[in-house]
Chain A
Amino acid sequence: MAKIIDQLKTLPQRLLTIMIFLLVWEIAVKAGLLYPSPVPPASSVLGALKDLAFESIFWEHTFVSMQRILSGYALAIIIAVPLGFAVGWSTTLERYLDPLLQTFRQIPLMALFPVFILFFGTGELPCILIIMLAAMWCILLSTISSVQNIDPFLVKTARSVGTSQWDMLRKVVLPSAVPSIFTGMRYAYTDILLVLIAVEMLGVNGGWGIIVSSHEHHGQSHTVMYAILISMAIVGVIVNYIFVALERRLCRWKETIEIT
């Protein structure tokens, strides 16, 4: 609670730079500094943003994109977390799997999209798989490094009281690794957004990518496109805050196994 009050107190400071940015934008456009580029003034974009908030079609598209993001996250976690634990915990497994993983990671994901369509058709599946892959690397790498960098003092203590391998993973490694797994998920969001929009622009059913590309080419609708971009950024900020809050909460779980 005290934290929330603290945050409210600093809110004017936090918003100040954003206000200045909007003001500079407005003035620059009105003064013709950006001419001949078709950037609309901040005020009309904000107006469009307000209209957008009351348009059900926008929320439907947002819902479609969010569903894809969540499915991608879920699949990525199901695969990357156990894999990350295994690779991070077993040096033998790491030796065998690391070269393969490092190679796969270098493949540009969007190049895989046509291949996925060939294999899985044009439905939701290829789209979700691409998002899953985009999310997976960040989560996998942060899981591996958090397991590898687990406090040796903690591990030694747990081993000395006779913890089995399974209990070690469940009660020691998991609580200490989970906060950084969530950090990995938070970082993954940017990667996800990148492929999500690209994939949706290539024409799947609905989603943010569709509304961005459908407004891009209508001259006077540029304003709407900027409004959509801003709304996506706002959603991103909210997602980020949710993850930060979760990380904080899970850090407390981690503290329960601190050794003195």
Chain B
Amino acid sequence: MDRILETESVTKTYRLGKIDVPVLHGIDLSVKQGEFAAIMGPSGSGKSTLLNIIGCLDRPTSGRVLIDCIDTSTLSDNELAVIRGRKIGFVFQTFNLVARLSAQRNVEMPMIYQDVPRNARVKRARELLTLFGLSDRMDHKPPEMSGGQRQRVALARALANDPALILADEPTGNLDSKTGKEILRILEDLNERGRTILIVTHDHEIAGKCDRIIRLKDGVIET
């Protein structure tokens, strides 16, 4: 099967003033198309940092990230934005929705940046929200919604441009266990339809449902 994601000796060192804070020390990782993988590890081990680098939200200090066999280290910031917009969908623990916009407008957002025409955009957003059981919440704003509803809006937004890869950083971290299971159910469903999913989690039950567990400790992958 194709490799949708590959990292080659990725390191990340944050610079705080004059102090260097090394976080990742040479990460070699490869994820196949259609895989459902969990990243686990103690707090501060660099899971979010790694996910941000994989998602091209941040650049590694050294090493390469290949998305769909494209070497992202050679791309400009704008080219990276296109990769993020088209190939990757993000879900965060904190939902990260625009408070003043309706659920539908939030879902439309990634499509606006990829110049999807208005009609197609609205149709797609409504389809996705309906799929996630939010047909009666399209015009509600995030502050009027529950955590589980917000996360479903965020999932719909992540899927807007039909990305091949979903990156989820503790997507159930702010939800109770029942709502968390609902979100996991949706992720499993998406995976069954062929989407590749990488999820950071502290929850062993969730990790148990994944094809593979990647364990991170002190910035290296444990084997």
Query: A residues near B, CB below 8 A?
Result: 153, 156-157, 159-167, 255-260
A259-B157 Cα distance, complex, nearest whole Å: 14
Are B113 and A259 interface neighbours, CB within 8 A?
no
A164-B150 Cα distance, complex, nearest whole Å: 25
Interface centre among B82, B85, B142, B161 (most CB of A within 10 A): B85
A-B pairs with beta carbons under 8 Å apart, 24 shown: A156-B57, A159-B81, A160-B84, A160-B90, A160-B92, A160-B96, A161-B110, A162-B84, A162-B85, A162-B86, A162-B110, A164-B78, A164-B113, A165-B77, A165-B78, A257-B98, A257-B100, A258-B100, A259-B96, A259-B99, A260-B95, A260-B98, A260-B142, A260-B150
A159-B114 Cα distance, complex, nearest whole Å: 13
Contacts of B78 in A (CB 8 A): 164-166
A6-B169 Cα distance, complex, nearest whole Å: 47
Contacts of B98 in A (CB 8 A): 157, 257-260
Contacts of A164 in B (CB 8 A): 78, 81-82, 113
Q: Does B38 contact A (CB under 8 A)?
A: no
User: Which residue on chain B has the smallest CB distance to residue A155?
Assistant: B57
Task: Give 1 or 0 for each of B58-95: 1 = CB within 8 Å of chain A CB.
Answer: 00000000000000000001100110111000101011
Interface centre among A162, A167, A259, A260 (most CB of B within 10 A): A162
Take A156-B57, A260-B142, A260-B143 as given contacts and tell me if A162 and B113 are in contact as well, using a CB distance cutoff of 8 Å.
yes
Interchain CB contact (< 8 A) of A167 among B55, B96, B113: B113
A49-B220 Cα distance, complex, nearest whole Å: 76
CB distance from B72 to the nearest CB of A (A): 14
CB distance from A35 to the nearest CB of B (A): 59
The number of chain B residues with a CB under 8 A from chain A is 28
A19-B148 Cα distance, complex, nearest whole Å: 59
Contacts of A258 in B (CB 8 A): 98-100
Contacts of A153 in B (CB 8 A): 94, 96
Task: Give 1 or 0 for each of B109-120: 1 = CB within 8 Å of chain A CB.
Answer: 110011000000
CB distance from A251 to the nearest CB of B (A): 13
Contacts of A255 in B (CB 8 A): 100
Contacts of B100 in A (CB 8 A): 255-258
A256-B113 Cα distance, complex, nearest whole Å: 18
A259-B100 Cα distance, complex, nearest whole Å: 8
A239-B24 Cα distance, complex, nearest whole Å: 52
Are B77 and A157 interface neighbours, CB within 8 A?
no
User: Which residue on chain B has the smallest CB distance to residue A157?
Assistant: B96
Take A160-B90, A161-B109 as given contacts and tell me if A260 and B97 are in contact as well, using a CB distance cutoff of 8 Å.
yes
Contacts of A260 in B (CB 8 A): 95-99, 142-143, 150
Q: Given A164-B78, A258-B99, A258-B100, output 11 extra A-B contacts at Cβ < 8 Å.
A: A156-B96, A157-B98, A160-B55, A160-B84, A160-B90, A160-B92, A161-B84, A162-B85, A259-B99, A260-B95, A260-B150
User: Which residue on chain B has the smallest CB distance to residue A260?
Assistant: B99
A167-B115 Cα distance, complex, nearest whole Å: 12
A162-B85 Cα distance, complex, nearest whole Å: 4
A138-B210 Cα distance, complex, nearest whole Å: 55
Are B99 and A165 interface neighbours, CB within 8 A?
no
Take A160-B55, A162-B110 as given contacts and tell me if A259 and B85 are in contact as well, using a CB distance cutoff of 8 Å.
no
A218-B90 Cα distance, complex, nearest whole Å: 74
Interchain CB contact (< 8 A) of B57 among A159, A167, A259: A159
Interface centre among A164, A255, A256 (most CB of B within 10 A): A164
CB distance from B197 to the nearest CB of A (A): 16
A153-B94 Cα distance, complex, nearest whole Å: 10
Interface centre among B52, B57, B96, B97 (most CB of A within 10 A): B96
Contacts of A161 in B (CB 8 A): 84-85, 90, 109-110, 113, 157
Contacts of B96 in A (CB 8 A): 153, 156-157, 160, 259-260
User: Which residue on chain B has the smallest CB distance to residue A167?
Assistant: B113
User: Which residue on chain A has the smallest CB distance to residue B101?
Assistant: A256
